[in-house]
Amino acid sequence: MDSISVNKFRENLKYFVEQVVNDHLPLKVTRRVGEDFVVISAEDWERDQETLHVLQNNYLMRQIAASSTSHEGKIGYIPSEEGLDEIASL
């Protein structure tokens, strides 16, 4: 993660916001007094929140593990060609 001073961030706010949004890389802004902060795009923040929700949900994690096990063992659901076409069209 790149890091810049709050003064440089303030002077080039539009540039850094565009960079964060377009490159999907967070930016750490440091301050001489007080806590540093991180700038992240709304899209990335929402994605991270969804990931945290799944990781904190034991039921979902068990479902993922069971699905992975059945997939590796080739014992899970195998869709028909028609089903695959329907999924691919989404």
User: Of all helices (H) and strands (E), which one includes residue 43?
Assistant: helix 42-56
Question: 40 vs 79, which has greater pLDDT?
Answer: 40
Within this chain, do residues 31 and 14 fall inside the same structural domain, yes or no?
yes
Residue 77 has pLDDT above 90, yes or no: no
Q: Is 89 contained in some domain?
A: no
Query: Phi/psi at 56 (nearest 5 deg)?
Result: -90, -5
| pLDDT tens digits for range 4-25 | 999 999 999 999 999 999 999 9
Q: Which domain range does residue 63 map to? A: 43-76
Residue 44 pLDDT class (50, 70, 90 cuts): very high
Q: 33 and 47 share a domain?
A: no
- The pLDDT of residue 75 is 84
CA distances from 60 to 29, 50, 52, 66, 72 (A): 35, 12, 11, 10, 18
| Average pLDDT of every residue of the chain | 93
